[in-house]
Amino acid sequence: MSANGTIEVPISIPGSPCRILVGRGLLATAGQNCADQGWGASCALISDETVARLHGEEVKTSLENAGYRVTLLTVPPGEKSKSMRAAEDLCDRMVEAGLDRGSFLVALGGGVVGDLAGFVAAVYHRGIPFVQIPTTIVAQVDSSIGGKTGVNARAGKNLIGCFHQPRLVLADITTLSTLPDREYREGFAEVIKHAAIRDAAMLADLDPQAPRESLAPLIARNIAIKAAIVAEDEREETGARALLNFGHTIGHAIENVAGYGQFLHGEAISLGLCAALEISQRKFGLAAPDAERVRAKLAAYGLPLVLPSTLGTDALLAAAGKDKKFTAGKIRFVVVPRLGHAEMSSEVTESDLRTAIDSLRE
């Protein structure tokens, strides 16, 4: 930790240098931190309309004070902006603004903006450097780390994308104070997931009443978990990185079938975690009290445990079958035989998924 309280989280990916900083006041230092990278003189600052209104001017001013020519581009807030159409439109606007292969891109916002802008950075002039400035819990502890970028297809979430590592991540916890309560709490589904798969002791440290301005050590702890797993398996070639998908097979299906917007990402993942816990308990030996500890912590953050009756099991199974975690038609499902330890299994059947989904209605 630096003298001003900023925490630097190490990450080691061969050929993909990245600096990750967590703390307060990092929006105002964005320009200098980018200047330290030695990039070109122009950049695109991509955000959604809500975040741009709250934080865009501070980041833009910081970049301009560091000598950059900044083009601010915004998209509507929400999952619907994670589309090929939005990505194409952003690329066209960057061309019109005169941004070239010597430019870089700054993504300012939550997971939608980070995924979309990262994808644009990956394909624009076949790849330009980009910076993640995540402004939500989900983005700070999960989606801004590791280089997964992408947009949604009609058939499912994140089916179109590529790996493109950010060169710099600035997780400024002061942005959390501007989040509505629902958007703040949904992010803890990913935190609880990290506890379940890698750091069981963290469950006891999670306090829904903790002040938002106190969260830098917790954010850094979660980034370290994500960074370590990504460093083991950047492109999901060995199976280690896939462990981060605990709860996501059914969670993404719920998002898709419900229609993007009915559930926030973390809310759908909460339900997906409950389903994965049910399978882990019934078939892989997870102790019932441990499964209940995770469910209780989800409930403590106001996250859903019960699936609406309007979402049919057959529709959810069909959506799950189109998920990236299916290979050659066979599911790769993440289970936790014990808290803090996750495994990939090829023994989870469609019948298991059906039982787990139905258990969410109880």
Q: Tell me if residue 241 is catalytic.
A: yes
Q: Tell me if residue 324 is catalytic.
A: no
Catalytic residue among 55, 60, 82, 148: 148
Catalytic residue among 157, 164, 221, 241: 241
Q: Tell me if residue 55 is catalytic.
A: no
Residue 330 has pLDDT above 90, yes or no: no
Lowest-pLDDT choice from 221-230, 294-303, 317-326: 317-326
Tokens of 5: 């309280």
Given pLDDT bands bounded at 50, 70 and 90, which one contains residue 362? confident
Residue 99 Cα to chain centre, angstroms: 27
Q: Mind giving me the DSSP string for 260-299?
A: TTSS-HHHHHHHHHHHHHHHHHHHH---HHHHHHHHHHHH
Gap between the Cα atoms of 99 and 263, Å rounded? 36
Domains and CATH numbers, the chain: 7-179 (3.40.50.1970), 235-359 (1.20.1090.10)
Higher pLDDT, residue 328 or 97: 97
Given pLDDT bands bounded at 50, 70 and 90, which one contains residue 15? confident
β-pair partners for 343 = 335
Which are the contacts of 94, defined by CB distance < 8 A and separation ≥ 6? 44, 71, 73, 103, 120, 124
Question: pLDDT, tens digit, for every residue of 129-173?
Answer: 999 999 999 999 999 999 999 999 988 889 999 999 999 999 999
Q: Tell me if residue 79 is catalytic.
A: no
Catalytic residue among 33, 222, 245, 256: 245
For the entire predicted model, the pTM comes to: 0.94
Q: Tell me if residue 190 is catalytic.
A: yes
Residue 247 has pLDDT above 70, yes or no: yes
Q: Tell me if residue 330 is catalytic.
A: no
Q: Tell me if residue 226 is catalytic.
A: yes
